[in-house]
Amino acid sequence: MALRIIFMGTPEFSVPTLRALKDAGHDIVAVYSQPPRPGGRRGLDLQKSPVHQAAELLGIPVLTPLNFKDEADCEQFRSFRADVAVVVAYGLLLPEPILNGTRLGCYNGHASLLPRWRGAAPIQRAIMAGDRKTGMMVMKMEKGLDTGPVALTREVEIGDNTTAGKLHDQLMLVGARAMVEAMQRLEEGDLPLKSQPEEGILYASKIDKNETRIDFSRPATEVHNHIRGLSPFPGAWFEVEINGRPERIKVLSSELADGQGAAGMVLDERLGIACGSGAIRLTRLQKAGGKPLAAADFLRGTSLPAGTRLG
C-alpha cells in the first residue's frame, strides 16, 4: 500500500528523491518548491526550480508559497490529507502547522552526519574542514534547525581530491535510495528514531562571497580543501596581473604538491604554487567569462611563469 506524500524541495539535489519515490509507487499528491526566481542571460526571466520542472513533467501539482505565514497556505497543505511530507533542500524553515500537517510528520533528507554540519551548506563545509567522511541522514523534522531524531544513515567517504560538485552528485543518489528505504519502513511501521548526540554540533553556514578568495598564506592542505570545497560553485579564486591589469582566475581543482617558497609564488611551469607551508598544484582553472580548462590548456593562452605572485 503506497503512502500519500507531499514532496518539498527546490534544487537539482532534490530531484532524484522525487523521482525515486514516484518510481517506488508512492502517491505524490503535491510538490512544494521555492517560487520562480529571476534568471536567464540578463536576469529578467522568471525561472522555475529544478524540482518544479521535474514535478510538472511527472504531472504532479506544484505549489510555490513564499512562506507559510498565511493560514490559507497552511490549510491548503493540510487539505491534501497526506500521510507524510518528504523534505530535501526545500530552502525554508517549516513552521509547526506544516510539521504537524500530515498524519506521520515530516522527514528530511540531509547531506551530513548529524549533528555535524547542521544548516545550509553541509557538503561544502565538510570538504573545507577536511572531513574524511560524510553521508545522508533521514531524520524526522522538528522545530529546530536539523535537530530532529535520526531514522536512517548512509555514510560516504570523501576522497583526497573530491570536490563539492562530485560529492553533491554522489550524495543526491545515495539520498534518494535512503529516502525510498525509509518510506518503505515507515509504511511498514518499522522506522525507529534515535535522538542526535548533544556533542559534536557544528553549523554549516551559507558560503559568503567574502570567503571565496584563496589565501595562499594558509597551509597547503587547507588551501586545497578550500578550493575543492568551493568547486564548481561559487568557486575559489585568486587575482594576478596579466598584460598590465589584474584578472580574477577561478580554480576548480588542485592537488597537493612538493615545493616551498613565498606564499602565492608560482614555483614551476606546471602551476605549482607555494603556500604558507607546503605547496599545491592548480589543475583546472577558469577565467572570468571563459570556459573551464585543464592547467596545460590554460597555460597555452595565459603565461604564468615561475616567480609570478598570485594573490
pLDDT tens digits for range 222-248: 999 999 999 999 999 999 998 889 999
DSSP-based three-state secondary structure for 109: strand
What would be the CATH architecture of the domain defined by 209-301?
Roll (3.10)
3-state helix, strand, coil in the chain (%, to 5): 25, 30, 45
Question: Does 97 belong to an annotated binding site?
Answer: no
Question: Does 99 belong to an annotated binding site?
Answer: no
Question: Does 149 belong to an annotated binding site?
Answer: no
The span from the CA of 95 to the CA of 99, in Å, is 6
Locate 69 and state its grid cell. Answer: 505565514
pLDDT tier at 43, thresholds 50, 70, 90 = low
pLDDT digits (tens, 9 = 90+) for 135-148: 999 999 999 999 99
Output the CA–CA distances (angstroms, integers) from residue 214 to 140, 217, 257, in the order listed. 38, 9, 17
pLDDT tier at 165, thresholds 50, 70, 90 = very high
Q: In the chain, list all ranges with CATH 3.10.25.10.
A: 209-301
pLDDT above 70: residue 293: yes
Kindly report the average pLDDT of the chain as a whole number.
96
Q: In the chain, list all ranges with CATH 3.40.50.170.
A: 4-203
Rg (CA), the chain: 22
What would be the CATH architecture of the domain defined by 4-203?
3-Layer(aba) Sandwich (3.40)
pLDDT tier at 42, thresholds 50, 70, 90 = low
Question: Does 115 belong to an annotated binding site?
Answer: yes
